[in-house]
Structure 1
Amino acid sequence: MDISNEIINIIGSEENEKLEYKAVLLPSKSLARLICSFANTSGGYVILGVSDNKEINGLSEDFRANSIMHKALDLLSPQPAVHYQYFMHQGKKLYVIKIEKSDSVILLENNAYIRVGASTQLQTPQELLFNPSGYARISEINDLIVSYTQNGTSSKLRLIEHYQSVLKLIDDLRTILYPQGVEEPTDNQEGKILSRILFSSYVDSFEAYLSDLLYEIYLANPESLKSQQKVTIEEVLNCSDIQEFVHYWSKQKISKLQKGSVKGFIKDNKQIKDLDIIDNHEQTEIEKILQIRHLYAHRNGIVDEKFLQHFTGEYVLNSEHQINIKEFCDKLVYLVEIIEKIDNAAKIKYRLATVD
C-alpha cells in the first residue's frame, strides 16, 4: 500500500492527535509506544526525519528503519494494522508510518498508551502514593524526577521509572531500612542487605542510562559510531542486524564505568566527552558513588584497600560500610541531577528525539 499521496497532504501540518514528527530514528521501544498510542486512539501518522518545528532533515542512510520497525511491532500485543515506507520529500529521505485505529486494546509490556492532543500518555497511569507519616523527602524526590520526565529522552524515562520503584520500596519498607530514623543506618540484617541491593540497583541504572543514551546518539548520528576501534567477527555475527550490534556496542562502552573509572569512561567516549558537561569535581563524586556500589555488590559492604584509596582516612580496613537513608537519597538525587544535565546537553547537541 503506497501512502505517498496521504503524506503529501499532511506533511507540514501541526502535530496533533493524529500526527507526530520525529527528527531521528527512534529505538524500537520508543517507536512501539508511539504506534500503540495512535492505534488505541484514532489512528494517525508518524513521520521520521522531520523535527518538531517541521524542519525537513531526512534520515541517515546508515541505518535501515524497517528493522527497527519490525522490532517495534514485535513488542506490541496484538499487533495493530500499520503501513510504512520510505518517502522522498524536498530531496530528503523520510520514513512514514500510518497506523490504523485498532478495534482491540493494543498493549506494550502490559501497558496501554493513548494520544492526548499531540502527546502520548499511559491510558491509566499509576499514581504513586507515599505514606503521609513517612520520610517526606521521598515524595519530594519523586516530584523532582517526575518534573524531569518532560521532554526527556526515552533513556531518561526508563531510568526515572526505575528510580520511582526504588523510592516506593524505601517508603514501604521503612521499618527495616531506617527503624531508628533517616540519619541512622539500620541495625536490621535484612535491612542492611536490602539497602545494599537498592543502592547497587540505582547506580546500575545510572550506567544503563548512559549505555541507552549512547545507543540513541548512534541511531540519531550514525557517523558518531565510526572509529578505528577493532571488533571481532564473532561480535558482529552474534548480532542479528546493525541495530542490534549498535546496541551491543553501546553497552560495551560502559565497561570502564563499571570498574569505577568515570574519567576513563568519559575519555573513551567522545559522544559524552564532547558534551563538556561533567566537571572534575563531579567526576570524582560519581566515582565515589560507583566505588560504594562496587563494595556493596562484590564485598558485601566490607571495606578493602582499593576502597580506601578513594576515601582516605574516612573508613577502617575490613569494617562494614553502611549508608543511612538520608545519604542514600542524597546520592540518588545527585545522580538524577547529573543525568538531567547530560540529557539536556545531549538532546541539543545530537538532536535526539524526546518523549512527550
Structure 2
Amino acid sequence: MENIISLIGQPESEVLEYKAVLPPARSIAQIIASFANTNGGYLVLGIKETPQKIIINGLSSDFHANSVTHKAIDLLSPKPIVKYENIIHDGKRIYVISVEKSSEVISVEGKIYHREGSFTKLQNPIVSPQNDNKIQELKDLESNLELNKTNGTEAKSEFINHYISIINIADRLSELLYPSSTQTPTNSQEGKILTRILYSSCADNFETYLSDLLYEIYLAKPETLKSTQEVTIKEVLDCTDMQEFIAYWSKKKLSKLQRGSVKGFLSENKQIEKLQVIDKPKQDEIERILQIRHLYAHKNGIVDEKFLKYHPEPYQIGEEHRLSLSEMIKHLVFLVDCVMKIDDKAIAKYDLSTIE
C-alpha cells in the first residue's frame, strides 16, 4: 500500500481510480476485475476528480466499506489478490483497495472487464442481433436507451438493460402482440396476457430503479438513512449486515408507490423529493401508469371503480382494458424520461458513483 501515497493527487489512469463515495458491490467488483485483467491498480474511495482539481473529501465512517468490498470480491471468479484498508491522508479518512495483476482472466458474473485509459470497459460485450424488420417505434426507444446507458448509476444501468430485454421480446413476438398494427390492441388471448405481463414488468422495473437508487444514496450519504421511523428488532436481526439492512429498507420504502400513491412515496422519501424532478403533472401520470399495472396484475385487466378514478374515459366498469403496443411504448418513454432526469439530479446532488 506504500505506493498509493505517492499516487494520490495524480489524475485517474489505467492504474488509479477515485470514487467520492462508497459504490455498490457490483461496481466495485467490475473495477477490481478490470485492474486484475490489465496491470493491477488502486481504487480509492473518498476522493473526487474534477476537471479543475482533485478533491479529498474523505469517506464517511457511518458505514464500514469492508463488508461491501467482501461482497464485491465474492462476485469475482477466480478471486484475484486484493488488499484493502482505511488510511488517513491530509487528515481525511480514505479507503484504498489495491489489486494485483492476475495471471488468470477474472470475471464478474460471467462478464470480463479491463482498463482502457482511466475507464473500466466491458470486454467483448454481447451485441444483440440486429433485426432490420424491427418496427421504428421499438428501434427509436432502443436507440435512446443505448445512448443513455453510460454515465449513470448502477440502478439506471439495470433499468435500461431490463427495458432493452422487453423491447427484444416485443420484437420477437410481434404476431402475438401487434398482429395487424402497433396502434391496434391484439385480439389474441395469449397476446393479451403477454401484453399484461410485459407492461407490469416495465412498471415494476421503474419501482425497482427507485429502490436501487435509494440504496445507492444510502451508501453514498449514510446520514440520509437516519430517520425517526421505528423498525423492529426482528427486521434488524433478519439482515446479516448493515448493507443488507439498507437494501431491505430501500425496498420497504416503495410500499406507498406500489399502492399507486406517488405523493405518499415522495413524502416518505425526501431523498427523491428533493431532486425536484417529479412535479405534480408527472406524479399524476406515474399514478395513471401504475394503476394500469395494478389492473393487469390483480384484476386480469377488468376495469373496476378504482381504475376509473384515474382513467375515467373511455372505459366502463367490467370492461376489459386493452393496450396497443404504441400506447405501451408511450408509457415506457415517459418512465425512461423520468429515470434519466432523476438519475442526473441524484448523481449531482448526492455525488453518486457512476458507470462509464
Structure-2 residue corresponding to 1:165: 165
- Residue 122 (1) aligns with residue 122 (2): yes
Question: Is the partner of 1:45 in helix, strand or coil?
Answer: strand
1:198 deviation in Å?
A: 0.8
| Structure 1 gap ranges (5+) | none
Within the alignment, does 1:9 sit opposite 2:40 as a pair? no
1:119-268 equivalences in 2 (<5 Å): 119-268=119-268
For each residue in 1:61-109, what CA deviation from the matched residue of structure 2 results, as whole angstroms up to 9, or x when unmatched? 1000001000111111111111111111111101001111112221211
Alignment: residue pair count: 353
Deviations 1:289-341 (A, max 9, x none): 00001111111111111111111132111111111111111111110000011
Provide runs of 4+ in structure 1 moved above 4 Å: none
Contact 1:186–1:324 (CA<8 Å) still a contact in 2?
yes
For 1:152-173, what per-residue CA distance to the aligned partner results, in whole angstroms no more than 9, with x for missing partners?
A: 0111011111111111111111
1:130 and 1:322 mapped to 2: Cα distance?
29
The 5 A counterparts of 1:1-356 are 3=1, 5-53=2-50, 54-356=54-356
Q: Does the 8 A contact of 1:130 with 1:139 survive in 2?
A: no
Alpha carbons 1:130, 1:168 under 8 Å: kept? no
Q: Deviations over 1:131-167 (max 9, x none)?
A: 2123112121111112212210111011111111111
For 2:298 and 2:106, the matched residues in 1 are separated by 42
Q: Which runs of 5+ in 2 are unaligned?
A: none
Contact 1:215 1:246 in 2 (8 A): yes
Cα offsets for 1:146-204 (capped at 9, x unmatched): 22122101110111111111111111111111111100111122111111111111111
| Amino acid aligned to 2:268 | D
Tell whether the 8 Å contact from 2:150 to 2:157 is kept in structure 1 after alignment: no
Question: Following the alignment from structure 1 to structure 2, what is the Cα–Cα distance between the partners of residues 108 and 301?
Answer: 40
Q: CA deviation at 1:242?
A: 1.0
SS at structure 2 position matched to 1:72: helix
Q: Which one-letter code corresponds to 1:108 in the other structure?
A: V
- The alpha carbon displacement at 1:39 in A equals 1.3
Given residue 85 of structure 2, which amino acid in structure 1 is its aligned partner?
Answer: Q
Q: Kindly indicate whether the alpha-carbon contact (under 8 Å) linking 1:39 and 1:99 is maintained by their aligned counterparts in 2.
A: yes
SS at match of 2:97: strand
Amino acid across the alignment from 1:230: E
Aligned CA RMSD, in angstroms, stands at: 1.0
Q: Distance in 2 between matches of 1:262 and 1:189?
A: 32
3-state SS of paired residue (2:42): strand
* Amino acid across the alignment from 2:14: E
